[in-house]
Structure 1
Protein backbone atom coordinates (compact mmCIF):
# COMPACT_ATOMS: atom_id res chain seq x y z
CA UNK A 1 0.00 0.00 0.00
CA UNK A 2 1.23 3.49 -0.85
CA UNK A 3 1.03 6.56 1.35
CA UNK A 4 0.00 9.87 -0.25
CA UNK A 5 -0.52 13.37 1.04
CA UNK A 6 -3.45 15.51 -0.06
CA UNK A 7 -4.51 19.05 0.72
CA UNK A 8 -8.17 19.47 1.58
CA UNK A 9 -10.16 22.44 2.87
CA UNK A 10 -11.61 22.40 6.38
CA UNK A 11 -15.23 22.16 5.27
CA UNK A 12 -14.58 19.08 3.15
CA UNK A 13 -12.50 17.48 5.91
CA UNK A 14 -15.40 18.03 8.33
CA UNK A 15 -17.67 16.29 5.84
CA UNK A 16 -15.27 13.33 5.67
CA UNK A 17 -15.17 13.15 9.48
CA UNK A 18 -18.99 13.14 9.61
CA UNK A 19 -19.04 10.39 7.00
CA UNK A 20 -16.55 8.36 9.06
CA UNK A 21 -18.70 8.76 12.15
CA UNK A 22 -21.99 8.00 10.40
CA UNK A 23 -20.73 4.92 8.54
CA UNK A 24 -18.34 3.68 11.21
CA UNK A 25 -15.05 3.94 9.33
CA UNK A 26 -12.02 3.30 11.52
CA UNK A 27 -10.02 6.00 9.75
CA UNK A 28 -10.19 8.79 7.23
CA UNK A 29 -7.97 6.71 4.96
CA UNK A 30 -10.51 3.89 4.76
CA UNK A 31 -13.29 6.36 3.99
CA UNK A 32 -11.26 8.01 1.23
CA UNK A 33 -10.29 4.59 -0.23
CA UNK A 34 -13.99 3.62 -0.41
CA UNK A 35 -14.89 6.95 -2.03
CA UNK A 36 -12.16 6.49 -4.64
CA UNK A 37 -13.21 2.86 -5.29
CA UNK A 38 -16.78 4.09 -5.78
CA UNK A 39 -15.61 6.63 -8.34
CA UNK A 40 -13.15 4.34 -10.15
CA UNK A 41 -15.24 1.16 -10.47
CA UNK A 42 -17.85 2.59 -12.87
CA UNK A 43 -15.11 4.10 -15.02
CA UNK A 44 -13.21 0.79 -15.14
CA UNK A 45 -16.32 -1.12 -16.16
CA UNK A 46 -17.41 1.38 -18.80
CA UNK A 47 -13.87 1.74 -20.21
CA UNK A 48 -13.60 -2.03 -20.65
CA UNK A 49 -16.92 -2.69 -22.40
CA UNK A 50 -16.27 -6.45 -22.59
CA UNK A 51 -15.14 -6.77 -18.97
CA UNK A 52 -17.39 -9.07 -16.95
CA UNK A 53 -19.25 -7.30 -14.18
CA UNK A 54 -22.35 -7.30 -12.05
CA UNK A 55 -24.94 -4.60 -11.94
CA UNK A 56 -28.14 -3.38 -10.42
CA UNK A 57 -30.71 -1.51 -12.45
CA UNK A 58 -33.37 0.24 -10.41
CA UNK A 59 -36.27 2.01 -12.02
CA UNK A 60 -39.71 3.35 -11.19
CA UNK A 61 -42.51 3.03 -13.69
CA UNK A 62 -46.21 3.69 -14.05
CA UNK A 63 -47.80 0.24 -14.09
CA UNK A 64 -50.89 1.72 -15.76
CA UNK A 65 -49.00 2.58 -18.94
CA UNK A 66 -50.44 0.39 -21.65
CA UNK A 67 -48.42 -2.79 -22.26
CA UNK A 68 -45.38 -1.45 -20.35
CA UNK A 69 -45.01 -4.37 -17.92
CA UNK A 70 -44.93 -6.82 -20.84
CA UNK A 71 -42.40 -4.70 -22.76
CA UNK A 72 -40.15 -4.46 -19.70
CA UNK A 73 -40.30 -8.24 -19.22
CA UNK A 74 -39.51 -8.78 -22.90
CA UNK A 75 -36.46 -6.49 -22.65
CA UNK A 76 -35.17 -8.55 -19.71
CA UNK A 77 -35.46 -11.77 -21.71
CA UNK A 78 -34.08 -10.23 -24.92
CA UNK A 79 -30.84 -8.88 -23.42
CA UNK A 80 -30.03 -11.94 -21.30
CA UNK A 81 -28.21 -10.08 -18.51
CA UNK A 82 -30.93 -10.10 -15.83
CA UNK A 83 -30.39 -12.87 -13.27
CA UNK A 84 -32.90 -11.81 -10.59
CA UNK A 85 -35.39 -9.06 -9.87
CA UNK A 86 -37.40 -7.48 -7.09
CA UNK A 87 -40.77 -5.84 -7.72
CA UNK A 88 -42.38 -3.45 -5.23
CA UNK A 89 -45.72 -1.63 -5.47
CA UNK A 90 -44.95 1.89 -4.22
CA UNK A 91 -48.44 3.34 -4.49
CA UNK A 92 -51.56 3.08 -6.63
CA UNK A 93 -49.67 4.10 -9.79
CA UNK A 94 -45.97 3.38 -9.38
CA UNK A 95 -43.84 0.26 -9.14
CA UNK A 96 -40.16 -0.02 -8.27
CA UNK A 97 -38.20 -2.73 -10.02
CA UNK A 98 -34.64 -3.71 -9.15
CA UNK A 99 -32.92 -6.05 -11.60
CA UNK A 100 -29.69 -7.80 -10.63
CA UNK A 101 -27.50 -8.16 -13.70
CA UNK A 102 -24.44 -10.11 -14.83
CA UNK A 103 -22.55 -9.73 -18.09
CA UNK A 104 -20.48 -7.19 -19.95
CA UNK A 105 -20.77 -3.51 -19.15
CA UNK A 106 -21.87 -2.84 -22.73
CA UNK A 107 -24.67 -5.43 -22.56
CA UNK A 108 -25.89 -4.08 -19.22
CA UNK A 109 -25.85 -0.51 -20.49
CA UNK A 110 -27.82 -1.55 -23.58
CA UNK A 111 -30.38 -3.27 -21.35
CA UNK A 112 -30.60 -0.26 -19.02
CA UNK A 113 -31.09 2.08 -21.98
CA UNK A 114 -33.82 -0.13 -23.43
CA UNK A 115 -35.67 -0.08 -20.09
CA UNK A 116 -35.24 3.52 -18.98
CA UNK A 117 -36.23 4.99 -22.34
CA UNK A 118 -39.62 3.22 -22.36
CA UNK A 119 -42.65 5.50 -22.14
CA UNK A 120 -43.92 5.29 -18.54
CA UNK A 121 -40.52 4.69 -16.91
CA UNK A 122 -39.98 7.73 -14.69
CA UNK A 123 -36.60 7.07 -13.14
CA UNK A 124 -33.72 4.71 -13.86
CA UNK A 125 -30.25 4.20 -12.46
CA UNK A 126 -27.65 1.58 -13.44
CA UNK A 127 -24.95 0.71 -10.92
CA UNK A 128 -22.02 -1.32 -12.30
CA UNK A 129 -19.63 -3.38 -10.19
CA UNK A 130 -16.50 -4.99 -11.66
CA UNK A 131 -16.49 -8.79 -11.36
CA UNK A 132 -12.92 -8.77 -10.14
CA UNK A 133 -13.02 -7.05 -6.79
CA UNK A 134 -9.68 -5.82 -5.47
CA UNK A 135 -8.36 -8.57 -3.16
CA UNK A 136 -7.30 -6.10 -0.46
CA UNK A 137 -10.78 -4.60 -0.37
CA UNK A 138 -12.41 -8.05 -0.29
CA UNK A 139 -10.28 -9.07 2.71
CA UNK A 140 -11.13 -5.82 4.49
CA UNK A 141 -14.85 -6.06 3.81
CA UNK A 142 -15.02 -9.55 5.30
CA UNK A 143 -13.13 -8.60 8.46
CA UNK A 144 -9.97 -10.48 7.45
CA UNK A 145 -6.50 -9.00 7.59
Structure 2
Protein backbone atom coordinates (compact mmCIF):
# COMPACT_ATOMS: atom_id res chain seq x y z
CA UNK A 1 0.00 0.00 0.00
CA UNK A 2 1.30 3.44 -0.92
CA UNK A 3 2.20 5.92 1.79
CA UNK A 4 -0.03 9.01 2.11
CA UNK A 5 1.71 12.26 1.18
CA UNK A 6 0.58 15.67 2.39
CA UNK A 7 1.03 18.72 0.19
CA UNK A 8 -0.21 22.30 0.11
CA UNK A 9 -2.20 24.12 -2.51
CA UNK A 10 -2.39 27.90 -2.89
CA UNK A 11 -5.47 29.54 -4.40
CA UNK A 12 -7.69 32.59 -4.10
CA UNK A 13 -10.04 32.47 -1.14
CA UNK A 14 -13.09 33.00 -3.37
CA UNK A 15 -12.16 29.94 -5.46
CA UNK A 16 -11.68 27.83 -2.33
CA UNK A 17 -15.09 28.95 -1.01
CA UNK A 18 -16.74 27.87 -4.28
CA UNK A 19 -14.90 24.54 -4.12
CA UNK A 20 -15.97 24.00 -0.49
CA UNK A 21 -19.61 24.74 -1.39
CA UNK A 22 -19.36 22.31 -4.29
CA UNK A 23 -17.91 19.45 -2.26
CA UNK A 24 -20.50 19.90 0.51
CA UNK A 25 -23.29 19.71 -2.09
CA UNK A 26 -21.77 16.53 -3.51
CA UNK A 27 -21.50 14.91 -0.11
CA UNK A 28 -17.73 14.84 0.34
CA UNK A 29 -16.63 14.69 3.95
CA UNK A 30 -13.38 16.59 3.29
CA UNK A 31 -11.33 18.42 0.69
CA UNK A 32 -8.76 15.63 0.40
CA UNK A 33 -11.25 13.10 -0.96
CA UNK A 34 -12.68 15.66 -3.40
CA UNK A 35 -9.20 16.53 -4.67
CA UNK A 36 -8.31 12.83 -5.01
CA UNK A 37 -11.44 12.35 -7.15
CA UNK A 38 -10.53 15.34 -9.33
CA UNK A 39 -7.05 13.89 -9.88
CA UNK A 40 -8.44 10.40 -10.65
CA UNK A 41 -10.90 11.93 -13.11
CA UNK A 42 -8.08 13.69 -14.96
CA UNK A 43 -6.05 10.47 -15.06
CA UNK A 44 -9.06 8.65 -16.54
CA UNK A 45 -9.43 11.38 -19.17
CA UNK A 46 -5.75 10.91 -20.01
CA UNK A 47 -6.44 7.21 -20.66
CA UNK A 48 -8.93 8.19 -23.38
CA UNK A 49 -6.15 9.90 -25.31
CA UNK A 50 -4.21 6.64 -25.71
CA UNK A 51 -5.97 4.76 -28.52
CA UNK A 52 -4.40 1.47 -27.36
CA UNK A 53 -5.57 1.79 -23.74
CA UNK A 54 -8.36 -0.53 -22.60
CA UNK A 55 -11.42 1.32 -21.29
CA UNK A 56 -14.97 0.54 -20.24
CA UNK A 57 -18.06 2.58 -20.87
CA UNK A 58 -21.61 2.83 -22.09
CA UNK A 59 -23.25 3.70 -25.38
CA UNK A 60 -26.71 5.14 -24.79
CA UNK A 61 -29.16 5.22 -27.69
CA UNK A 62 -32.69 6.60 -28.02
CA UNK A 63 -34.63 5.60 -31.10
CA UNK A 64 -38.09 4.91 -32.50
CA UNK A 65 -38.35 1.14 -32.80
CA UNK A 66 -40.96 1.55 -35.54
CA UNK A 67 -38.27 2.87 -37.89
CA UNK A 68 -38.01 0.25 -40.59
CA UNK A 69 -34.95 -2.00 -40.26
CA UNK A 70 -33.35 0.08 -37.50
CA UNK A 71 -33.24 -2.66 -34.86
CA UNK A 72 -31.73 -5.08 -37.38
CA UNK A 73 -29.02 -2.56 -38.32
CA UNK A 74 -28.12 -1.90 -34.68
CA UNK A 75 -28.00 -5.62 -33.92
CA UNK A 76 -25.89 -6.35 -36.99
CA UNK A 77 -23.30 -3.73 -35.99
CA UNK A 78 -23.14 -5.21 -32.48
CA UNK A 79 -22.82 -8.79 -33.68
CA UNK A 80 -19.89 -7.91 -35.93
CA UNK A 81 -17.85 -6.87 -32.88
CA UNK A 82 -19.65 -8.84 -30.17
CA UNK A 83 -16.49 -9.12 -28.06
CA UNK A 84 -16.71 -5.37 -27.24
CA UNK A 85 -20.18 -5.69 -25.67
CA UNK A 86 -20.55 -6.92 -22.10
CA UNK A 87 -24.26 -6.24 -21.64
CA UNK A 88 -27.26 -4.58 -23.25
CA UNK A 89 -30.36 -3.18 -21.61
CA UNK A 90 -33.39 -2.33 -23.72
CA UNK A 91 -36.16 -0.21 -22.22
CA UNK A 92 -39.46 0.79 -23.81
CA UNK A 93 -39.91 4.46 -22.94
CA UNK A 94 -43.31 4.76 -24.60
CA UNK A 95 -45.18 3.29 -27.57
CA UNK A 96 -42.56 4.52 -30.04
CA UNK A 97 -39.32 5.33 -28.23
CA UNK A 98 -36.77 2.91 -26.84
CA UNK A 99 -33.70 3.49 -24.72
CA UNK A 100 -30.83 1.10 -25.16
CA UNK A 101 -27.75 1.09 -22.93
CA UNK A 102 -24.82 -0.95 -24.20
CA UNK A 103 -21.95 -1.69 -21.82
CA UNK A 104 -18.67 -1.83 -23.72
CA UNK A 105 -15.06 -2.72 -22.95
CA UNK A 106 -12.10 -2.56 -25.28
CA UNK A 107 -9.40 -0.36 -26.71
CA UNK A 108 -10.28 3.33 -26.93
CA UNK A 109 -10.12 3.42 -30.72
CA UNK A 110 -12.46 0.44 -31.14
CA UNK A 111 -14.93 1.62 -28.49
CA UNK A 112 -15.14 5.10 -30.02
CA UNK A 113 -15.48 3.68 -33.52
CA UNK A 114 -18.33 1.32 -32.65
CA UNK A 115 -20.14 4.01 -30.67
CA UNK A 116 -19.94 6.42 -33.60
CA UNK A 117 -21.25 3.75 -35.97
CA UNK A 118 -24.22 2.99 -33.70
CA UNK A 119 -25.03 6.63 -33.00
CA UNK A 120 -24.77 7.46 -36.70
CA UNK A 121 -27.36 4.91 -37.84
CA UNK A 122 -30.28 6.65 -39.54
CA UNK A 123 -33.21 6.66 -37.13
CA UNK A 124 -31.21 6.99 -33.91
CA UNK A 125 -32.63 10.14 -32.30
CA UNK A 126 -29.86 10.59 -29.76
CA UNK A 127 -26.74 8.75 -28.77
CA UNK A 128 -23.93 9.27 -26.33
CA UNK A 129 -20.70 7.50 -25.49
CA UNK A 130 -19.51 7.66 -21.90
CA UNK A 131 -16.03 6.30 -21.30
CA UNK A 132 -14.44 5.44 -17.99
CA UNK A 133 -11.48 3.49 -16.73
CA UNK A 134 -11.32 -0.24 -16.18
CA UNK A 135 -9.82 0.74 -12.83
CA UNK A 136 -6.62 -1.24 -13.36
CA UNK A 137 -4.35 1.79 -13.13
CA UNK A 138 -6.22 3.77 -10.47
CA UNK A 139 -5.50 3.69 -6.76
Whether these two folds match at TM > 0.5 is: yes
In which range does the TM-score fall when normalised by the shorter chain? 0.7 to 0.9
Asked whether the 8 Å contact 2:40–2:138 carries over to 1, the reply is: no
State which drifts further: 90-99 or 122-131: 122-131
2:114 counterpart SS class: helix
- The counterpart of 2:7, out of the listed 3, 9, 23, is 3
State which drifts further: 27-36 or 100-109: 27-36
Q: CA deviation at 1:89?
A: 1.1
TM-score (norm 2): 0.81
- Which runs of no fewer than 5 residues in structure 1 stay unpaired? 136-145
Aligned to 1:72: 74
Larger radius of gyration: 2
Aligned to 2:37: 34
Aligned to 2:91: 88
Q: Give the direction of change, closer, same or farther, for the CA distance of 1:16–1:61 in structure 2 (3 Å limit).
A: farther
Q: Aligned residue pairs: how many?
A: 133
Distance 1:8 1:58 in 2: 39
TM-score (norm 1): 0.78
Aligned to 1:52: 54
2:79 counterpart SS class: helix
Q: Give the direction of change, closer, same or farther, for the CA distance of 1:122–1:39 in structure 2 (3 Å limit).
A: farther
Asked whether the 8 Å contact 2:59–2:104 carries over to 1, the reply is: yes
Alpha-carbon displacement from aligned partner over 1:35-69 (angstroms, at most 9, x marks no partner):
3422431331x222121221111121121211111
**Superposed, which structure 2 residues align to 1:101-120 within 5 Å?**
101-120=104-123
Q: CA deviation at 1:96?
A: 0.9
Calculate the aligned-residue CA RMSD, in Å: 2.1
- Which runs of no fewer than 5 residues in structure 2 stay unpaired? none
